[in-house]
Chain A
Amino acid sequence: MSTTRWDISLPVVGDRLADRELAPYLLVGPTIVTVFLVTIGPMLWSLWLSFNRWKPGSLAYQEPTFTGVDNFAWLFTNDRFIHSVVNFAYYGGVGVFIQVALGTLLALALYNYVENQTLRVGLLTLFVVPMMYAPLVAGRMWQLLFLPGGGVVNGFLGILGLPQPSWLGSRWLGLTSIMVADTWRASLSDSLYEAAQVDGASRWMMFRRITLPQLRNLIIVAAILRFMDAYKFFDKLFVMTNGGPGSTTELPTYFTYLVGFQNFNIGRAAALTWVLGLGSIITMMLFWRYMRTVEEV
């Protein structure tokens, strides 16, 4: 790092070279210490705990006791955990896909068919309003709408003789993708579409070869944001179903909560957290790679 740069940007700590070299560390030091104490430290501790059996409140394992990979072995043979991962694959995979796809299409439709600028922004705002609700409030409201047997939406579907799916978990149409797609489309030059028209392209070809490839990176971002939301989908589940009936709608995060804070099986909960965290990172990386290859037309 060049010293001249510090000369310009820093209030002088001292004139000696030693001071100048020390100054940057002094300035970022408190942040680094804080980050270590509240994030990195606990993470490492939980990694260590995941190889221990520790049940505060029980007689046998008052203190952490090293048990090797026992926690992980328990985890991967636990039906309830496997089931919760399957649930998550459904919500996080199918749900996010549907949300992002619908959100993108809705935004494009909004852009292409609503020419009045004020109306368009107004509609966009309406779509996004639910994002501002406190998650618990939104959870209760959706519960009222989608309650199996008695919920408004399923009631309607029942009247129409349609199947009544379990809606809980799918959040309103991937709002993130709407915003992202709309912002993007508004910034894209019209002359690309005019060029495509002149080149004789059909609507489908314009969508497939111009709109979609250009949207790709933003779709990735939207999908990752939605995936993160789905992963953290804990509060609404807690409010709406408590994981039930039985454990049928349980998600991994909720299961982790039960293991950690109801059974106080800290070691197992730590193992769960690490498996889930690494799992999501790997999933996202694979998804990202896949999307990068898909985009090349």
Chain B
Amino acid sequence: MAEVTIDNLTKEYGSIVATNDISIDIDDGELVVLVGPSGCGKTTTLRSIAGLETPTSGSIHFGDTDVTDRAPQDRDISMVFQDLALYPHMTAAENVAFPLHADGQQPETTVRESVEEVARATNCEEFLDKKVVDLSGGQRQRVALARALVRKPEVFLMDEPFSDLDELLKRQLRAEVVRIQKDLGITMVHVTHDQEEAMTMGDRLVVMNDGEIAQMGDPDTVFNEPARLFVATFIGSPQINRFDCRIAGDRTLTDGELELELPADAADVLDGATGEAVTLCIRPQHLSWADERPADSLAVPVSVNVIEKIGTEDIVRCRTAGGTEITGVVPAGALSFGQEGYLVFDPSQLHLFDGHDENAPRLN
């Protein structure tokens, strides 16, 4: 295993810049998740680590070794592909053994032992002798994992391998991958567009947008202190509430309809002049319901428009008189359709950003 250092990685396809000056240090044994919407450059970054793409500029080191110009064969990596890329004409066992046969260093008995060992770890012993075409989606997934793990590579890469699975299986496999990764102390880079997957799996998230890194940090930091407006809106479910405001007074913001009076400590960061653009965000989990306007709190009068049941809680989509939609999370059954009242903002959970565009940096 090794640490991975990506320095100033830029990859251009003609005039399209897929990744722009990306630098990431990945520790030995760390699970880093590259997350972002389609086309953000996360897969290009991963494929560059694998050697399947040649960077336009920048370098990639495994430990002290510069691997930038090495072929994938010479990098000691393994990768699980989005479409898994299992060899369809082989059995599961032959697929898993393939990297060892490619290596050609081990006698056949050792190969068989390694295959059985990794099959035990990934729960695919039962269908080792089946052909790939006869396996279910979840079984193929496990075989792909086993094939990637069997060689005990320096760096383990995963390109959205769970995207085609059903929810239950997806959760199960995520947990298994994390367990195996921790057990074996593997350096792993995982790519996904699913922010929930990123949050549950990663030691560290690298949130990417438009070929650049929007924020790097552990899941809690990224969730609680999004560094840019893009990160705030991309991470978290249901999506964060966003108010595109202008400064209207010392402590007051207005989005055209609502007058939002900030608590004193939050207002401290507003050193700009009246009329300057500021975005206020608050997560639905940090709004609470009140039937009467509470004193000394930031609260907005709304009526309940849609109620989505998710079991223990309800997601309520509310509307202000002027039609602004605000989403809150309340205990199941607490509210009914059309009910009127106030959504109260938790003053410690406000996120303020300097401007309205997605690159706007955090103020507080």
On A, residues with C-beta under 8 Å from B are: 189, 191-192, 194-202, 205, 209-210, 213-214, 295, 297
Contacts and interface: CB of A to CB of B under 8 A. Distances in A.
Given A202-B73, A205-B102, A209-B98, A197 B52 contact: yes
A200 B90 contact: no
A198 B99 CA distance: 8
A191 B79 CA distance: 11
Contacts of A192: 85, 87
A183 B86 CA distance: 21
Query: Which of B78, B89, B99 has its CB near the most chain A CB atoms (within 10 A)?
Result: B89
A197 B72 contact: yes
Contacts of B11: none
Closest 6 CB pairs of A and B: A195-B85, A199-B99, A191-B85, A200-B102, A197-B72, A201-B102
B164 interface: no
A197 B53 CA distance: 12
Contact of B98 (A194, A199, A214): A199
Contacts of B101: 205, 209
Nearest to B72: A197
Interface of B: 50-52, 71-73, 77-79, 81-83, 85-90, 94, 98-99, 101-103, 147, 151
A93 to B, nearest CB: 26
Contacts, number: 67
Contact of B73 (A191, A201, A297): A201
B242 to A, nearest CB: 38
Given A189-B83, A191-B83, A209-B98, A198 B50 contact: yes
A191 B87 CA distance: 10
A197 B71 contact: yes
Contacts of B78: 198-199
Contact of A202 (B83, B89, B94, B102): B102
Nearest to A206: B102
Contacts of A210: 87
Contact of A194 (B81, B94, B99): B81
B87 A198 contact: no
Most buried by A among B50, B51, B52, B102: B102
A201 B90 CA distance: 15
Contacts of A200: 72-73, 99, 102-103, 151
A205 B87 CA distance: 13
A201 B52 CA distance: 14
A194 B102 contact: no
Contacts of B51: 197-198
A297 B97 CA distance: 12
B132 to A, nearest CB: 11
A214 B81 contact: no
Given A200-B99, A295-B89, 7 more contacts: A189-B83, A191-B81, A192-B87, A198-B79, A201-B73, A209-B90, A297-B90
Contacts of B52: 194, 197-198
A213 B102 contact: no
B98 A198 contact: no
A52 B271 CA distance: 113
Contacts of B72: 194, 197-198, 200
